[in-house]
Amino acid sequence: MKAHSKTISLLTIIFLQTTLIAQPQLSGFADILLVVPLENGSTPAIQYGQFELDVSANIRPGINFEGAIALNPETGTFEAGAGFVELVLSGEDGFHSARGNYFQHIGLSIGQFDVPFGIDWQHIASPDRRLVSAPLLNEKSINGWNDIGVNLHADMGQANITAFMVNGATDGFAIGGRAAYAPFEILEVGASCFSQTEANELGSQPQSLGLDIQTVTGPLATRMELHYTEDLLEGDFSSIDSSAAQHGFYLQTDLNLSDILDIPLALIGRYDDWSTVNNTEEANRVTLGAAYTITEGFEIRAEYLEDIVNGNQDSQQFVIQTVVNF
C-alpha cells in the first residue's frame, strides 16, 4: 500500500487545529474480552478488543471534521482510525453518518474512513456489532477496509448512493461504490462493487462484487451479504498475488427480547459459508451470541464461535465481552 505518512501528518494537523479551535464534540468506546479457546491445551486470556477516541466538530456551516484515534491490539499502539473533512454539497448539514444512520443530503468526505463496501462496515465499531466477532466472509475478503481517499455520497431517504476512490493496492486506485434502495420501511437491498484501476507486476488486480439485504420486523432483524472477490485475501492490499477467486455469504438474525419480555437482552445467530471458486479451500462459521444492556452505554455480551475448514473442525472459542460507549 502507498506510503501515507504525509497524509496522516496532515490529518494530525487538522485534528489538532479542530481540537483547539472548533469546539469539538468528544466521544469514544472500549471493550475488554475474556477469550476461552475450547481446544485441549489452550489457555484463556483477557485482552483488549477495541479502544477508540473520537472527535467531531463543525468548522463552519457545510464543513465538518471527524477523526478517531484507535488502539491496534496487535501492536499495542494508537493509530489514526479516521480523519476526514465532510463537505455538505446539498441538503441537511451535519456530521456524516459513518455507521449508516442516514439523513438527507449530498456530501463529500475527504480523508481516511471505513470504506463503504457492503453493509458490515457500518458495524466495525464494537458498540455497533452485537456479536463479538466479524463475519468470516468479510475477514476473508475486504476485512474491515479502512483507507484514505474521497467518498461522494447521496443520502436521499429511500435511496442511497455512494462512490469512492481510495488508495487500495500499490498500483492505481480502488474505485467503487454502493447503491441501496428501501422500497418499504422494513426492507433495504443494496449492491456494491470495486476494482483496482491497475494490475501489479504479477497481473493481479483486486476487485469485488457484493449484494446485501436487511429487514426489520418488530423485534426481529435480519441481514445477509454475498461477495465475489478476485486477487484479494483477508484485506491485504499490500501483498497482492494471483490468489484464487473466492465467494461466500453470511446470514445474521437478531432477536430483541426487550420488545417481547421487557428484558434488555438480544439473542443473535450468524452462519457463514465461504470458499474459493475452485473449491481448494472451504470454510464455515457458526456464531451464537447474547447481549445484555446493563445501562445506557454499558453492555455485556457472550459468544460461542466454531470454525470448520475443509470439512474439519478448526477452532472453537467462547468469549465474554464488556463494552462501554461514551
Domain coordinates in residue numbering, the chain: 5-325
On the question of pLDDT at 21 being above 60, the answer is: no
> Is the pLDDT higher at 140 or at 98?
140
Whole-number pLDDT of residue 1? 47
Q: Which helix (H) or strand (E) holds 284?
A: strand 282-295
Cα atoms in the Cβ-side hemisphere of radius 13 Å centred on 303: 25
Task: Locate 117 and state its grid cell.
Answer: 463496501
On the question of pLDDT at 152 being above 80, the answer is: yes
Confidence of residue 321 (pLDDT cuts 50, 70, 90): very high
Q: Which helix (H) or strand (E) holds 175?
A: strand 174-184
Whole-number pLDDT of residue 10? 58
Whole-number pLDDT of residue 244? 75
Rounded Cα–Cα distance for residues 88 and 59 (Å): 12
* For the chain, percent of residues with pLDDT exceeding 90: 68
Task: Locate 228 and state its grid cell.
Answer: 465475489
Q: Which residue has 457500518 as its cell numbers?
A: 122
Rounded Cα–Cα distance for residues 241 and 128 (Å): 33
Question: Was domain 5-325 assigned CATH 2.60.40.420?
Answer: no
On the question of pLDDT at 228 being above 80, the answer is: yes
Query: Cβ(179)–Cβ(199) under 8 Å?
Result: no
Mean pLDDT for 163-181 is 95
All residues at 6 or more sequence positions from 170 whose CB lies less than 8 Å from its CB, including other chains: 1, 2, 200, 237, 238, 240
Mean pLDDT for 213-234 is 95
Whole-number pLDDT of residue 99? 45
Whole-number pLDDT of residue 100? 43
